[in-house]
Amino acid sequence: MQIIGVSRGSLSAGKSFAESLAAKLGYDCLAREELTDAATRAGIPVGKLEMAIVRLRPLSERLAIEKDRYTAFVTATLCERALERSVVYHGRVGHLALPGVTDVLRVRVIQDSEQRIASAMEMLHVSRHKAQEYNEQVDEDRRRWVRTLYNIDWSGPAYYDVVLNLSHFGIKNAASAMVSMAQLPEFQTSPATHRVLQDLLLGAKCRLALGSDKRVHDMNVQVRADRGRVSVIYLPRQEETARLIPEVLYKIDGVDEVLCTMATTNLLWIQERYDSQSESLTNILQIAGKWNAAVELLQLTDTAAGSEGADETLLTVPPLRRETEDDGGILDDTADDGENAEDEGLRETRDRLIGAGCAGGYRVVSGGVTKLLKNLDLTAPYSLVVVGDVFLSKVASVRHRLTDEMVSYLSDHLRTPVVGTDELKAHYLFGPAQWLKLLMFGVITALLLVLLFTHQEEIVAFTSREGTGNRIVSSVVILMFVPIFALVYGSFARYALRLFKFD
């Protein structure tokens, strides 16, 4: 079983390449058009969704739900095919519908601009200028589509293992080259990948089941499956309807347990070891309570092996794929690797989160920062990513440096605030230090306002003095005063809003 994803732009010969590659390997070949037709037959308005994205219209709540249903449909279809036999999928970025599957061979197929323009002129019977405009518009439409669904720029080379320019050699030769690459051990499916595909399939089936049931189809939910345990996160206003979720999901084969959590957003907490009595957990519970958020746990293991790679990845493009001795990123499940093997601190932390009503599931990822980023779902609605105790095998100074670099690296690659646990209080909680700053900025703001309103005549006289020199001095004073007052008043307002939980 192997998965090859071919990302093809318009007029890039990607379809012919994918079909040739599949034929040479003896694999199934699945096109995006087949998926969209099947999704439309299943009642998902793909055309309406694409039109809204292309026309830059903000997605309504209904269309946002249909977007989730469509991505779940794509995930379910790809997982079902891949679990049966090897498959070559060609479309836009199908591999992004398989988060956590690290041994997909990801191929980007392109052609030179002039060759694409010539193809458009021949196909559409238009002038060169019109053909160029057509290609640019199609590229922009597809860029918007991928950005809306997966929150990335699909032209970024870091999202692919190889980029093929078919203007420089023939389709059959390119396919032959990829046959050799597909035999590399980095792209062979592991038992861990099989487990991830099963979890993705179950989660996608659950999301589709909720979208197909008229009683709950309007719910905006996030669904994740892990070894038969299904976590569903829903909005507070859907609390009444959410009671029907277990009834719908327990009908699906493979569902052993359903955990429903009410949340408006997600927090991702990354640690190497969890402690259910730690101050960090207390702080995160406070933030989750304020934001009505679910907390997802990600345990990062084997950072000693990945720390050197972390240093490198902060300076270079992430490596091609995983090492041959790696298990694919997600820890494998063996016969004696059940609940008893679960880290006790992680289990107790989950229990506290469940007891507080803000559990959002958990994952275990092996490796350094590069593996971590590859296993993150870039489309998840995270409002905050918290990096806690990692690189514990290192001495304190090295650990702090690597942690800071990880925070910086994730901040550069995620559209979400990323902080360390030591920054939580300063940025998101209200304690004695924040009270002191609130009072200090409040007093300074009040003092400045009193001085302004009680010395208006002097201020007017100062700013209206005759002479070029006096006008320059008064302008400089005003230019200095305004940003200082804005800083002081803005800081006071920020702490006041945080005090009243307007985060």
Q: Are residues 65 and 177 in the same domain?
A: yes
Q: Are residues 392 and 484 in the same domain?
A: no
Q: Are residues 54 and 82 in the same domain?
A: yes
CA distance 243 to 260: 9
Q: Please name the residues in contact with 165: beta carbons below 8 A apart, sequence gap of 6 or more.
A: 110, 111, 112
Among residues 90, 353, 349, which one has the least CA distance to residue 231? 353
CA distance 146 to 290: 32
Q: Domain for residue 397, yes or no?
A: yes
Residue 324 — φ and ψ, nearest 5°?
-65, -30
Q: Domain for residue 200, yes or no?
A: no
Q: Are residues 439 and 402 in the same domain?
A: no
State residue 5's pLDDT score: 94
**DSSP one-letter code for 76:** H
Please give the structure tokens belonging to residue 71.
């991505």
Q: Domain for residue 237, yes or no?
A: no
CATH number at residue 332: 3.40.50.620
Q: Domain for residue 28, yes or no?
A: yes
Please give the structure tokens belonging to residue 40.
């439309």
Final residue of a structural domain among 429, 459, 477:
429
Q: Are residues 347 and 468 in the same domain?
A: no
Q: Residue 267, class by beta-carbon neighbours within 10 Å (0-12 exposed, 13-18 middle, 19+ buried)? A: buried
State residue 334's pLDDT score: 36
State residue 340's pLDDT score: 40
Question: CA 378, 379, 383: angle at the middle one, nearest 5?
Answer: 85
Question: What is the amino acid identity at position 40?
Answer: T
Q: Are residues 46 and 97 in the same domain?
A: yes
Q: Domain for residue 226, yes or no?
A: no
- State the residue range of the domain holding 455: 432-499
Please give the structure tokens belonging to residue 312.
């490198």
Please give the structure tokens belonging to residue 24.
């040479």
Among residues 70, 93, 104, which one has the least CA distance to residue 143? 93
CB atoms within 10 A of CB 79: 24
Q: Domain for residue 243, yes or no?
A: no
Among residues 360, 322, 321, which one has the least CA distance to residue 106? 321
Q: Domain for residue 196, yes or no?
A: no
Q: Are residues 482 and 403 in the same domain?
A: no
CATH number at residue 169: 3.40.50.300
Q: Domain for residue 74, yes or no?
A: yes
State residue 331's pLDDT score: 37
Q: Are residues 156 and 288 in the same domain?
A: no
Q: Are residues 45 and 126 in the same domain?
A: yes
State residue 498's pLDDT score: 66
Where residue 304 falls (left for φ over 0; alpha for ψ -120 to 50; beta otherwise) is alpha
Final residue of a structural domain among 384, 406, 429:
429
Q: Are residues 346 and 463 in the same domain?
A: no
Q: Give, for 44, the enclosing helix (H) or strand (E).
A: none
Name the domain count of the chain.
3
Final residue of a structural domain among 409, 429, 449:
429
pTM of this structure: 0.63
Q: What is the pLDDT along the chain (503 residues), one digit of tens a residue?
A: 899 999 988 888 989 999 999 999 999 999 999 999 999 999 999 999 988 888 877 677 788 889 999 999 999 999 999 999 999 999 988 888 898 898 999 999 999 999 999 999 999 999 999 999 999 999 899 888 888 888 778 888 888 999 999 988 889 999 999 999 999 999 998 888 999 999 999 999 999 999 999 999 888 888 989 999 999 988 766 788 899 999 999 999 999 999 888 776 788 999 999 998 888 898 888 888 777 788 888 888 866 554 444 433 333 233 333 333 333 333 333 333 444 445 788 888 887 887 676 777 778 888 778 778 877 766 666 888 999 988 888 898 888 888 888 888 888 888 788 888 887 776 776 666 777 888 898 899 999 999 888 988 888 888 888 888 888 888 898 899 999 999 988 888 877 876 665 55
Q: Are residues 350 and 442 in the same domain?
A: no
CA distance 98 to 91: 14
Q: Are residues 416 and 285 in the same domain?
A: yes
